[in-house]
Structure 1
Amino acid sequence: MAKAVPTFTFMLSICIPTYRYDVRALATELLRQATAVKGPVEILVYDDASPNDEDWGRSELRRLAGIRYVELKTNLGRAAIRNKMARDAQYDHLVMMDADGWPNPDFVSRYFEEVERKPQLPLIVTGGRTYAPTPPPDHRYHLHWWYGSQRESKTVARRKADGALGFQSNNFMVSKALLLRHPFPDNFEGYGHEDTVWGQQFVAEDVTICHYDNPVVHLGLEPNDVFLRKQEQAIFNLRLLKNESPHLRTRLIDLADKLPFLPAIARMAPERTLMDYLITRERPNLYALDLLKLRWWGKTE
């Protein structure tokens, strides 16, 4: 007997911002999943002004039926492009998904089912992030994999215990009205932590962040040196955001607040030595990365 196709009463806009990343396979997979549910689904793919050094799948995406593909002329950045896609989406529930994530086979239907269960909530649902079960064969990508596997890939129970601290913007669902009322902070440039401040603003609001088992696999590993440069930029941005939002919390902020002498001690460790260790080790000790982050945090004071 054929499996019954579930019928749902609301409509979903899946929003995928991309920059220098080929999302053809992801768009095709989401189109396949969308046909397996009885409910309107639109898929938006916005290219954030990727350079022309490669095609990035654009030629095929322009012809791919069933998605709304837009190539922006000016780079908006990670926060502003999400806000724009929310404004442009035609449906009342949005799924925001990073371009380098790969959905589980029931990704679309699981989000539909979650809204059906909680129709009255001011809704934010995070689905979670996982990594491949084994590190990549190229050691140049090991630092990102180890960090992601040990620090970012969390069980639903752990994310629930973390509350707003467990919010991740790579894979979440939100009502369009809520995101338009509370857009992502787009008044700074660079990489990092715009999702941290966005998720934590709801601690003082009557909004529930639901942690749900609907993960995507993070595929876009970056070389060790690139990963470290982005981590440094993220610490710089975190300081700016902390200055604007004193309530902001992260594991690093909590540690520095509890033991304020740590950043000063961390500055005694040679930065280049720490970076060389993290870049060259096949299985780096992530406490060395913590020390490096504390060093960067102390430099921003």
Structure 2
Amino acid sequence: MLSVLIPTYNCNVSKLVTAVHAQLNNSNFSFEIIVLEDGSTINLNSSKGLSNTTIIENKNNIGRVKARQALASKAKYNWLLFLDADVLPKTEQFITNYNNAIKLNFDAVFGGFAYYKTKPKDSVVLRWKYGSKKEQIPASTRNLSPYKVIISANYLIKKEVFNLINLKIEDNKGYGFDNYFAALLQDNNIKVLHIDNEVYHLGIEENKLSLKKQEQATLTLLHFYKTEDIKSHSNDLLLLFSKLNRYKLVWLFSLFFSIFKRSMKKNLLSGSPSITVLQIYRISYMCNTYRKGTTV
């Protein structure tokens, strides 16, 4: 009935797999867990031996998009539960909550993200602060605009719907594909439900890497804008950029980025980064890249 699919790269998923497996064992339906070691260079997986659990090892890294496609092709059940390797269910009712959601008339169900309240060390605070403010959102709010906050690290989807949507995403190892995935869900009128069934996000990277990923996600979004691959969407950043472009203000934000880039980065890489500064950085970075005609 349920295929739990976990792509991983150099990340120990033993705790995650053990926790999910224990909940599945207490359920009254058929299940399988498939872990795809996507070209990992170190062996951190000790989940072998669990019932209904399969470990697949790729020699070469194929990236998140193709890894998920490969997992879906191996799945034997109609409902797919995708989990990122660096998460952990928040409650012991995690599987029960998703099982209850299956009974509802929706095509995809998103459980949400959570972050521990204790502030981490300064070197990783940017990702924690951004996630706590922009990703840790209750289902009641997410359901008001169901395609706006789409986090693919924790979601349930019908297999035929996943194949319809995800196979449209081009082969790329970049970041920011949740935005495109959300746009495809909206463009295809997929019935989406959000529930409060969070996973804790454990893989909080260093500030420099976090900012780099924000830049890469922005470039991915800009790429889909330039190629007109995104038609219907609810992405705030892209909506703002489209408005600035329409009113011919991209040059102004591009100039702003050129002047204040260094001071903005200084704030974002500090121990007290401002999420407002991050949002300004993202839109001005997008405008600057667009105006320069940089290939994305």
The structure-2 alpha-carbon separation of the partners of 1:24 and 1:213, relative to structure 1 and needing over 3 Å to count, comes to same
Identity, in percent, stands at 27
Per the alignment, residue 103 of structure 2 pairs with: 116
The DSSP-based 3-state class of the residue aligned with 2:77 is coil
State which of 191, 196, 201 in structure 1 corresponds to 2:184. Answer: 201
State which of 26, 30, 43 in structure 2 corresponds to 1:40. Answer: 30
Question: d(CA) in 2 for partners of 1:235 and 1:99?
Answer: 23
Per the alignment, residue 218 of structure 1 pairs with: 201
The DSSP-based 3-state class of the residue aligned with 1:162 is coil
Question: d(CA) in 2 for partners of 1:271 and 1:246?
Answer: 28
The answer to whether the 8 A contact 2:7-2:35 is kept is yes
The structure-2 alpha-carbon separation of the partners of 1:229 and 1:15, relative to structure 1 and needing over 3 Å to count, comes to same
Q: Structure 2 matches for 1:1-301, cutoff 5 A?
A: 11-52=1-42, 55=43, 57-58=44-45, 60-103=46-89, 104-118=91-105, 121=106, 123-136=107-120, 138-244=121-227, 245-247=229-231, 248-260=233-245, 261=249, 263-280=253-270, 282-301=271-290
The DSSP-based 3-state class of the residue aligned with 2:5 is strand
The answer to whether the 8 A contact 1:131-1:148 is kept is yes
Question: d(CA) in 2 for partners of 1:61 and 1:185?
Answer: 32
Measure how far apart 1:256 and its partner are: 2.0
The DSSP-based 3-state class of the residue aligned with 2:32 is strand
Measure how far apart 1:117 and its partner are: 3.2
Question: d(CA) in 2 for partners of 1:213 and 1:91?
Answer: 24
Measure how far apart 1:34 and its partner are: 0.6
Question: d(CA) in 2 for partners of 1:170 and 1:212?
Answer: 14
Q: In terms of mean alpha carbon deviation, does 19-28 or 263-272 score higher?
A: 263-272
The DSSP-based 3-state class of the residue aligned with 1:161 is coil
Question: d(CA) in 2 for partners of 1:17 and 1:252?
Answer: 28
What TM-score do the two structures reach when normalised by structure 1? 0.88
| Coordinate RMSD, CA, aligned | 1.8
Displacement over 6 Å in runs of 4+: none
Unmatched runs of 5 consecutive residues or more in structure 2 = 291-296
The DSSP-based 3-state class of the residue aligned with 1:284 is coil
Measure how far apart 1:111 and its partner are: 0.8
The answer to whether the 8 A contact 2:147-2:234 is kept is no
CA offsets 1:44-69 (integer angstroms, 9 cap, x no match):
111110123xx3x23x2344444111
The structure-2 alpha-carbon separation of the partners of 1:246 and 1:189, relative to structure 1 and needing over 3 Å to count, comes to closer
Structure 2 residue identity aligned to 1:239: L
Unmatched runs of 5 consecutive residues or more in structure 1 = 1-10
Question: d(CA) in 2 for partners of 1:63 and 1:112?
Answer: 25
Measure how far apart 1:239 and its partner are: 1.1
The answer to whether the 8 A contact 1:190-1:237 is kept is no
Measure how far apart 1:184 and its partner are: 4.7
Structure 2 residue identity aligned to 1:105: E
The answer to whether the 8 A contact 1:184-1:194 is kept is no
What TM-score do the two structures reach when normalised by structure 2? 0.89
